[in-house]
Amino acid sequence: MKKTINQIIDGLFTNNPVLVQLIGMCPTLATSTSLNNAIGMGLAAAFVLICSNIVISLLRKLIPSKVRIACYIVVIAGFVTVLDLLMQAYLPDLSVSLGMYIPLIVVNCIILARAEAFASKNGVFASMIDGLAMGLGFTFALCLLASIREIIGAGTIYGIPLFGANYQPVTMIVQAPGGFLCLGFLIAAFQVVIKKVKGRKS
């Protein structure tokens, strides 16, 4: 049990895929324009990450190393399409707000990176926990970034206007440059916090 908690903390803070490892940048920057997008994208990515980690760690002994990337990515793409179809059929409104981002999950580097680095080397349970940890880490970082960008860039949080009518939102923050800028500052702040926490612990 102790190892699982460590893995979760590791995925959320010390080894956060977005803020520390800096993978999964494309969906992070693309979908962090509003909080509900971020939550939807984070949970969808987490779901695919957990399922693909389980399946890949099950198959890890059968896949020859030369075709490992092709096999992993086909499994991941399969899960994403299944998720997309199921959402369109049974959760139509969520699928509308997330429609464009679901195919983006296939090329979310986190999933292949975790499959390649972790799931292909460890047991099923450990890989599932790692998928959960990395998924939570990804969602946590995404929501953090999305709330910053939405508050400054659109003056709302989860769609609720905060500053009344006369607030002139900084639209650049919601556009492309804002993504890079806010993520840069967020990672800098995160590194300072982690250094402080590590400093106090050692």
Q: Which of residues 67-96 bind other proteins (CB under 8 A)?
A: 67, 69-71, 73-78, 80-82, 84-86, 88-90, 92, 96
What does the alpha-carbon distance between residue 70 and residue 34 come to, in Å, rounded to a whole number? 33
The reply to whether 189 sits near other proteins by the rule CB under 8 A is: yes
State the greatest distance between any 2 C-alpha atoms of the chain, in Å, as a whole number.
Answer: 62
Vertex 114 angle, CA 36 and 21, to 5°: 70
The reply to whether 34 sits near other proteins by the rule CB under 8 A is: yes
Residues 6+ apart with CB under 8 A from 148: 182, 186
Q: Could you say which of 123, 175, 197, 198 contacts other proteins (CB under 8 A)?
A: 175
For other proteins, which is the closer residue by CB, 5 or 192?
192
The reply to whether 187 sits near other proteins by the rule CB under 8 A is: yes
What does the alpha-carbon distance between residue 194 and residue 198 come to, in Å, rounded to a whole number? 6
The reply to whether 39 sits near other proteins by the rule CB under 8 A is: no
The reply to whether 172 sits near other proteins by the rule CB under 8 A is: yes
Vertex 7 angle, CA 121 and 52, to 5°: 50
For other proteins, which is the closer residue by CB, 12 or 76?
76
Rounded least distance, CB 117 to other proteins, Å:
9
